[in-house]
Amino acid sequence: MIEAVSKPTQREPIIHSLRLETSCDICHLSFKVHVSAAELINAKRYPFCHLILHGNPIHALAVYVDKHGVVRGSESSQSIQIDRTSSTFQELVKWWSMHAEDDG
């Protein structure tokens, strides 16, 4: 079962919080999925892929979200590649600091 909840934030008017009743096939952890209203509206096609990087060793849970904010499927992957440039690192640090409160 998938539960959709909306809550206001200072950054964006609405954040859709989707709670999966499924888990990562690799580590079996469950996650709350945070997808902003802007991401839902601005997606170029649906369902769009939302990645959750996690674990040690690091791996990913790919979640497929439709235009209504409903999760239509997910899959796990141990195969990931992160561009090792300073601009990518700077963007990761910027993203991490902007989303630090999402982890709570």
> Tens of pLDDT along 34-80?
888 888 889 999 999 999 999 999 999 999 998 888 888 999 999 99
- Residue 47 and residue 87: Cα distance in Å, rounded? 28
What pLDDT is recorded for position 88?
A: 94
Q: Which tens digits make up the pLDDT trace of 11-29?
A: 544 555 565 566 899 999 9
- The candidate with the shortest Cα–Cα distance to 67, out of 27, 101, 20, 35, is 35
Compute the Cα dihedral for 64, 27, 90, 33 and give only its sign.
Answer: positive
Domain segments of the chain as ranges = 3-103
Q: What length does the chain have?
A: 104
**Single pTM value for the model:** 0.72
